[in-house]
Amino acid sequence: MWFYRLLRLNSMFHNHRIKLAGVGLLNALGMRHLCVRLDPTMRCNLRCLMCGSSVEDDNPKYKMQFTMEETSRIMEVFLPYTLQFYLGCQREPTMYKQFPEIVRRAKRQYGVPMVGLVTNGQLLTHEHLLELAEHGLDELTLSVHGIERETFERFMPPGKFDKHVRLMEEVKALRASRKKAFRLRINYVVNRDTLDELPRVLDLYARYKIDVIQVRPMKVRTMLYEKGGLDVQQLHTYRETVNRMRQRAKDLGIVFIANDSGVYAKRAGDSAIIQEEVAHFIAPPDAKSQRVHWWEETYPQYCRRTKWYRRVARKCLTSRHVLCESIESRLGFLDYDIS
């Protein structure tokens, strides 16, 4: 759980100058400092109501995927400098046939300290779980939008709640049979129709001995779920519930990650300043717009081309307020508290 201790320490320390200087030093020494999220495919097996992309699944870009040759090149460029690597972000990585091989290479070939798989879990088989454990996967994250059969299947169609429960049982049995097995994390998204389930989430997943749970409210309205985020009264309920869950998770020995306010800020915070320099999200539609031209340059070449060290040094001399004002996001920012 060292990674979450590192995140907790980062959230407690607010001097962006020292953080940026540390990142610059790690880069200069050729040490790991990047956080990389890779969607090898834009396909998804579900049409989740709270996903802004689900309504566009017929768009040609949501049929795109990297070849294994391209994926290998991306790993070659980024992973020697990567501290945290997540396979899966906006789409479903298990739709990519070679996803276990990506995990194997990340751990065995490139030795990335923290490798995670983020998935809805509906396509994972028992054989997949054995393979991922054998390859050294550090964390399996399951995205969940409801803990009752009706809400789960309503918000994650055509997903089946029984498959989710069966997967949880298989993961629990696998972890019990192995001294070293991946951590289990739940990412739970709350909306206006599922807030009443939130107090019971920990009770359900504590049965499966999860290690980490993240709770967040829905970000924006989607074409398939136009109610959007929580209303004013629900925000009050959300905050009270999260505070109780935080203490309950502590008693259970579960890492608890949540936004206590339930409100997305319009301006970036400290974390976004650092993320600009260490976080890379790579997906097929945006391949040619990446900051790092991975198809034709190495990571050190990218740093030289963009005068990366000069930019970071300039940020070290700039006030936090000015830097936060310069970072824009049409979806807003959500600060998490980790305990």
CB 337 within 8 A of CB 268: no
User: Over the range 95-113, which residues count as b (16 or more CB within 10 Å of their CB) and which as e?
Assistant: bbeebbebbbbbbeebebe
Backbone φ and ψ for 90, nearest 5 degrees, come out as -95, -20
Task: Report all structural domains of the chain as residue ranges with CATH numbers, in order of start.
Answer: 2-338 (3.20.20.70)
Q: Which of 292, 230, 233, 329 is nearest to 77 (CA)?
A: 292
Can you give the pLDDT at residue 331? 44
Question: Which letter does DSSP use for residue 242 in this model?
Answer: H
Query: For position 52, what pLDDT does the model report?
Result: 74
Q: What is the pLDDT of residue 57?
A: 62
Q: Is 230 exposed, middle or buried (0-12, 13-18, 19+ CB in 10 A)?
A: buried
Burial 314-333 (b: 16+ CB within 10 A, else e): ebeeeebeebbeeeeeeeeb
Alpha helices per DSSP H over 192-231: 198-206
For the chain, the straight-line distance linking the first and the last C-alpha, in angstroms and rounded, comes to 12
Query: Helix 16-28 to helix 308-316 angle, to the nearest 10 degrees?
Result: 160
* Confidence at residue 127, expressed as pLDDT on a 0 to 100 scale: 96
The structure tokens 């936004």 sit at 259
3-state secondary structure string across 167-202:
HHHHHHHHHHHCCCCCEEEEEEEECCCCHHHHHHHH
CA atoms of 68 and 299, how far apart (whole Å): 20
Decide: 159 and 167 in contact? Cβ < 8 Å.
no
Pick the closest to residue 91 from 126, 130, 63 (CA basis): 63
- Which residues of the chain register pLDDT less than 70? 55-58, 265-269, 286-289, 328-334
pTM of the complete model: 0.93
218 CB neighbour count, 10 Å cutoff: 24
Spatial distance between the Cα atoms of 331 and 291, rounded to a whole number of angstroms: 21
d(CA 46, CA 48): 6
The helix (H) or strand (E) run that includes residue 129 is helix 126-135
**Distances in whole angstroms, Cα of residue 339 to Cα of each of 5, 8, 124, 215, 275:** 9, 7, 29, 12, 21
pLDDT for residue 330: 43
Residue pair 129/174 in contact by the 8 Å Cβ criterion:
yes
What digits encode the pLDDT tens for the residues 243-285? 999 999 999 999 999 988 777 766 666 777 888 899 999 999 7
**Cα-Cα-Cα-Cα dihedral of 130, 131, 136, 142, to 10°?**
-70
pLDDT at 149: 96
